A and B are shown apart, each in its own frame.
Chain A
Amino acid sequence: MTRQTKLNFPHPPARPDETPDFSAIDIPEAGILDVPPPELKAADSHDYAQGLIRILNDQGDAVGPWADYIADREDESLLQGLRDMLKMRAVDKRLLNAQRQGKTSFYLQCTGEEAIGGGFQRQLEQGDMNFPTYRQQSLLIAADYPLRDLMGQIYSNACDPLQGRQLPIMHSAREHGFFSISGNLGTQYVQAVGWAMGCALRGNGKIAAGWIGDGATASNDFNSALLSASVYQPPVVLNIVNNQWAISTYTGVASGQSKTYAERVLGYGIPALRVDGNDYLAVVAVSRWAIQRARNGYGPIAIEWFTYRAAPHSTSDDPSAYRPKDEALAWPLGDPVERLKTHMIKRGIWTEERHAQSEAELLAEVMAVQKEVEKHGTFVNPQPISPAEIFRGVYADMPEHLRRQRQEMGY
């Protein structure tokens, strides 16, 4: 029997006015996957690429071999992780607010994904380099990037290390392991591989980390990066943040019939793991394992961080037009802050009172810096950066035609 050929168009489980439905997502028990040896090969990665590495169970206990793998961690590092996430949330909240007040042109939050950048960054060394997307500001928070620089960039004022050249959130912070962000999706994934090849050639012991969203895995450069990494075996960790959405487009449009993004990577001969991105402990454990593996010369490794974009895509977006309003609340892997908090309370190193106090303190800290930075100008009360800045840094030495244009401009 033959069938009529027919095209397939993927659909999300629920649209606005429907009940959120994640029943098709299989959530394995926490603690059931072991810690592979560093020489893990793609061919032996199927369980890790199709499964989900999780440490925190529904009761908030840390369980399984991956929990043991990071058992040496001090309580202090958990406190730090929670603080990173709370600080991230406070920063996102305040900057979103600033955009709503017209003080900047644009903002974009990472709500629900704070654990990923936060936990990953804390495992890197000085000199390692992230090639982030615009949604990885949690890397900067966990790298202790000064809030004054971070916020200056958002306000495009005199505190902006980039002199107002880039759209808000397109940071660049070389000393903090954060490569200059480009708005063009995918381009930087392959650059991370190039940087890592440079590290290997120079023998400097540093690694690179590429970052890409589920939607942008569709780009040609995703293939370029994986193939190059497979061929040359540089020290690179290739992160895929699968937050279920690419603006209004459901992740199924990027995945096609592949079950997981991690599994797709295996076809390149690169081992890959899939991880509960809302489980701070799992993020820390797998990041530490993958970063060490890359640094110790076992070649590239990919990680799919399974999470949910709880916020709108950006301040230009209204998700109520394409997904149920309360979909984030139905996300089966919960909220990373709540989960870590529950675990720490259970562990006896945290309380609700301290949590509330910490939240308030961090918000106050963020607001104090914000107030200070806003004194240097906002879109409501601008203190313009010199227009002549437009011409500086286009080339190392300003060519004659740019000099003429600057003069024509009156500077």
Chain B
Amino acid sequence: MARMSMIEALRSAMDEKLSDDASVLVFGEDVGFFGGVFRCTAGLQEKFGEERVFDTPINESAIVGLAVGMAAQGMRPCVEVQFADYVYPAYDQITQEAARLRHRSNEQFTCPIVVRMPTGGGIFGGQTHSQSPEALFTHVAGLKVVIPSTPYDAKGLLIASIEDPDPVIFLEPKRIYNGPFYGDHSGKSVPWSQHESSEVPEGHYTVPLGKAVVRQPGNDITILAYGTMVYVAEAAAKQAGVDAEIIDLRTLLPLDLETIRHSVEKTGRCVVVHEATRTSGFGAELIAEVQEACFWHLKAPIRRVAGWDAPYPHAQEWDYFPGPERIAAALKLAMEE
């Protein structure tokens, strides 16, 4: 097995699907010759030719609109939006078209597309390179929303997403493209090669959509997290000295409520974390679901740690980012209650 960064794992997934399915296409801004500004598609055009992997004009609405048309025609486009912050021109195509094509045509037309986009902060990108817009997609019937946190999952989930018969929003936490991030921005960053989850098989395998995973078993409290926050939560649990069970959701929609319920029924306590702004964030949905499913097992109110309800700042990034201290404080609070 090879050790891969998340970038290499994503590339390997696209490589695999481009090889085994002639209908798979990869395109987006700077995706072709250059291989993407984060290098996720590097080498793919050279290998598969520009009819399969190509550059597009700077128009996200066109990127997704073209993908919808191609998919309805029988292709399987896996497109890239350069940053999640730039997806908004495509919001119409994604939410009003891709999401509903199957339903409104009574299955005459379908839309098996994947829209990949780097998401989240932690790279001093300011307000237009740091956003976490997952809730704007989980609110839309007909979409699936996926966010990996390890190279292994990134490859398996992306292959599963490309093979899925419906549109998938595939969010890539850019802070952990090259290595896990535990929330200490002043420390040295660790590359994926030093982390066990960077063992990625060559060839085809899938990680099923709609299945969460327990990243760290524990007895006292359940932490629900995804993307970069899985590692930050791990650091926070250590810092707070609590025996936390950390669940990496991996797919936000459809949500794996069974894994969550199983854990919260055991621990009786739950903290939800995400980078996205707090109000109407995905955390609100999680809390509502946990409350309905596990109310009689809960020993304390469910806490939520999220980005503040303000635009993502440049200079005060680490005051904004929900780091280990804030999560640890919420964990302690939930334990005391």
Interface residues in chain A, defined as those with a beta carbon under 8 Å from any beta carbon in chain B: 7, 9, 15, 105-106, 156-157, 160, 163-168, 170, 182-186, 215-216, 218-220, 246-250, 253-254, 316-317, 321-322, 384-385, 387, 389-391, 394, 401-402, 405, 409
Q: A184-B88, A215-B58 in contact; A165/B127 too (CB < 8 A)?
A: yes
Q: What number of A-B contacts does a CB cutoff of 8 Å give?
A: 122
**Residues 304-337 of chain B: 1 if any A CB is under 8 Å from the residue's CB, otherwise 0?**
0000111101111001100000000000000000
> Which residues 45-85 of B have a CB within 8 angstroms of A?
50-51, 54-59, 61-62, 85
Closest Cβ–Cβ distance, residue B33 to chain A (whole Å): 6
A352 to B33, CA, bound (A): 42
> How far is B58's CA from A250's CA once the two chains are assembled, in angstroms?
11
Given A164-B313, A164-B314: A322 in contact with B57 (beta carbons within 8 A): no
Quick one: closest B residue to A15, CB to CB?
Answer: B33
- Nearest residue, chain A, Cβ from B50: A9
For the complex with contacts A165-B311, A249-B34, A390-B313, 13 further pairs of A-B residues with Cβ separation under 8 Å are A9-B54, A105-B124, A156-B315, A164-B315, A165-B315, A185-B58, A219-B89, A249-B30, A253-B57, A316-B37, A391-B310, A401-B279, A402-B310
In the assembled complex, the CB of A102 is this many whole angstroms from the nearest CB of chain B, namely: 11
Q: Can you list 16 pairs linking A and B with CB atoms under 8 Å apart?
A: A9-B32, A160-B315, A164-B313, A165-B127, A166-B126, A166-B314, A183-B128, A321-B34, A384-B316, A385-B315, A385-B316, A390-B319, A391-B310, A394-B311, A401-B279, A402-B310
Q: State whether A387 and B59 are in contact (beta carbons under 8 Å apart), knowing that A247-B37, A322-B33 are contacts in the complex.
A: no
Q: Which residues on A sit within 8 Å (CB–CB) of B127?
A: 165-167, 183
Q: Are B308 and A409 in contact (CB under 8 A)?
A: yes
Question: Taking CB as reference atom, which chain B residue is nearest A405?
Answer: B308
Contacts of A247 in B (CB 8 A): 29-30, 34, 37
Would you call B59 and A220 a contact (CB within 8 A)? Answer: yes
Residues of A within 8 A of B124 (CB): 105-106, 167
CB distance from A191 to the nearest CB of B (A): 15
Interface size for B (C-beta < 8 A) is 38
The docked-state distance in angstroms from the alpha carbon of A250 to that of B86 is: 20
A168 to B315, CA, bound (A): 10
Q: Which residues of B contact A387 (CB under 8 A)?
A: 316, 319-320
Task: Pick the residue among A160, A185, A249, A401 that contacts B309 (CB under 8 A).
Answer: A401
A184 vs B91: C-alpha distance when bound (angstroms) = 14
Tell me if A219 and B59 are in contact (CB < 8 A): yes
Contact B126 A409 (CB under 8 A): no
CA of A385 to CA of B88, assembled, Å: 30
B126 contacts which chain A residues (CB < 8 A)? 165-167, 170, 183
The residue from A7, A163, A253 contacting B51, defined by CB atoms under 8 A apart: A7
CB of B51 within 8 A of CB of A390, answer no
Contact B309 A405 (CB under 8 A): yes
The chain B residue sitting closest to A249, CB to CB, is B55
Residue of A whose beta carbon sits closest to that of B124? A105
CB neighbours of B89 from chain A (8 A): 186, 219-220
Q: A165-B313, A248-B30, A384-B316 are in contact. Are A390 and B308 (CB under 8 A)?
A: yes
A384 contacts across to B, CB distance below 8 A: 315-316
CA A157 – CA B129 in complex, angstroms? 20
The verdict on B125 contacting chain A, using a C-beta distance below 8 Å, is: yes
The residues of A that contact B62 with a CB separation of less than 8 Å are 218
